[in-house]
Structures are given as C-alpha cells and as structure tokens.
Amino acid sequence: MPEGDEIDYILQQNLLTQAELLTLLQEVFIPVGFTRFRLTGGEPLLHPSIVEIVQAIVALPETQDLAITTNGFLLANLAQKLYNAGLRRINISLDSLEPETFGKIAGLRGLSRWQQVWEGIQAAYQVGFDPLKLNVVVIPGVNDHEVLDLAALSIERAWHVRFIEFMPIGNGDLFHDRGWVSSEELRQRIRDRWGLTEAQCRGNGPADVFQIPGAKGTLGFISQMSECFCDRCNRMRLSADGWLRPCLLNETGQIDLRTALRSGTSIASLRQQVQELLTLKPEINYKQRESGTVSGYSRTMSQIGG
C-alpha cells in the first residue's frame, strides 16, 4: 500500500460475523459445489477470530482444501496456532529482499518492518507449512532487479516462489505508468542463470510452474497481463462485508449476501442467487478477457488482496 493510497475502512458491524460466514459456507456455498477455500484480504490475519475461523472451516466434512494468503506481518506469532488449527497451505507476500524497497512498496519504513515479515516466513517454515509459497509482484524499476535473488530462495528450501505480473491499478504515484515485465522475460533471466525446467507438480491456481534444476522448491509464474487466463478461472470471491463477486476485477452481477441474510432472505433463495451467478460467470470471464480492461473499477489492489 504505497503512500498516498487511501483506504475507506469498513465498520465492524458491516463485516460478516463468524457465524454468518459459516452459515453461508455450510448452507449456501457447499451445497452448490464449493469445497476448496482461501482466506485472503486485505489482510486476513487482522481478523480477531482468524484461528477459530480456520479451525471451523477445516472441521467441515466437505472441505477438501483451505489456504491463506497473508502479508506475513503478524505471522510469526500466529504460525503455530494456525497450523494447530488445521491449516497446511499458506501464501506470503514478499515483494523484495531489500528492506528499503520493501518499505516503498508496502508503505512502511525501517528494517524492523521487513524483518518482521521475514521472521513470519521463517516461523511458517519451521512449523511445517507445505507448500509454503512466496508471492512476488514484479514492478519494473522497483524490484525487478531482485528476480534472481528471489528465485534463488527456492534452491535450498522447499519454498515455492511465485512471480506475478504487475497490474497497475490505483496504486499511487510510485507505480504510475510503470507497466509490467512479462513472465517469459523473467523465465529467460532465470534460464540464462541456472537453466529452467517444467516442474512435475501443478499448483491449485493459475500459475505455470517451473523449477531450477536440482532445486528443492519451485518457481511459479502468474501471467494475467501477458497470458490472460480469465477463461480458465473458476473462482468466486466473498468479501469481508458480504459481497459475492464472480471476478477479482469485475463486479458485474455481484450479490450483497450480508444484507440479504440479515433481512431474512431464505437460504433457498440465497442458494439460488449464487447458483445463477455461477452460471453467469463464464460469460463474465469471457468479457473480461476480451476487454483486457478494468474500467470503472474503484478499489485498489491493496484493498482487494490476493
């Protein structure tokens, strides 16, 4: 969240309660076919009941997978608790190995901020999260000179570094008109240094997965700018304030489930609305892919999360 980015904070009473979230999962989403879940943000570790929520979702018999995407800032003290609650997969944002650059990207200053995130990563590794993924958004002229250093993190540890093409959406003056570096260019840099082979394992998401020969971990490339994958997307997003959206960058057809739930709308009706939005999703995906734009989209990437 670069300096100058402003956030409109949501009032606590406008957030889904833990009970409401679990009601939607058990009575609406699971019955229409959802079995794999990710807690993301904003920043999910800010939620005061995050450990209890993880434990409750893991305990649902229909849950096939649960993961968290976090900035890692609060992770050092929560890693063991989350693991004990049943979480096994975690994605941590680490856009730079240089504290100063990290500060510019995150809107934070000082070595201690970077150090706190690094300690969170180490804690998650020691606890045993597998896979442990590090998300790197590559920004030209800001952190793209670190690509080889970041890729090297996958050599000696079973860490999975994922390079994500930068989407310049409402991210302040630091990133204005920066453009993006294609995944193929990044792969070629790594190929020239160590060589690169396609990994045997496949991820759960949109990443193309490769591996430095002999490395313990892998390298993933998420290429939403150069190799749009909208037509393959099967994800829906439920925001903390109860809005269900069919696309990260397109709010067409979104449903306010919180208001509907609190106003007494029947579960059967909610389930039908979600099913209809699922039916509409392929068309929304196609239009998003064809347009290649996010016009009219008001939220910034720091508000959307991973």
pLDDT of residue 227: 78
Using DSSP's 3-state secondary structure scheme, residue 167 falls into coil
Q: What is the pTM of this model?
A: 0.88
In a domain, 122, yes or no: yes
User: 262-299, pLDDT tens digit by residue?
Assistant: 999 999 999 999 999 988 876 665 455 555 554 445 55
In a domain, 104, yes or no: yes
Check which CATH number belongs to the domain holding 134 and give it.
3.20.20.70
Torsional sign, CA 13, 19, 24, 25: positive
In a domain, 83, yes or no: yes
Q: Which pairing describes strands 159-165 and 255-256: parallel, antiparallel, or unpaired? A: unpaired
Contact status, residue 223 vs residue 210, Cβ threshold 8 Å: no
CA distance 258 to 15: 8
Q: Residue written as tokens 């999260």?
A: 129
In a domain, 240, yes or no: no
CA distance 168 to 213: 33
- Structural tokens at position 292: 């290649």
pLDDT for residue 58 is more than 80: yes
Q: Which pairing describes strands 132-138 and 159-165: parallel, antiparallel, or unpaired? A: parallel
**What share of the chain has pLDDT > 70, as a percent?**
81
Domain range enclosing 25: 12-235
pLDDT of residue 295: 45
User: 148-175, pLDDT tens digit by residue?
Assistant: 999 999 999 999 999 998 876 655 555 5
In a domain, 245, yes or no: no
Measured in residues, the chain has a length of: 306
Range with lowest mean pLDDT among 24-33, 116-125, 139-148, 240-249: 240-249
In a domain, 79, yes or no: yes
- Structural tokens at position 59: 């305990």
Total domains, the chain: 1
- Structural tokens at position 180: 């993006």
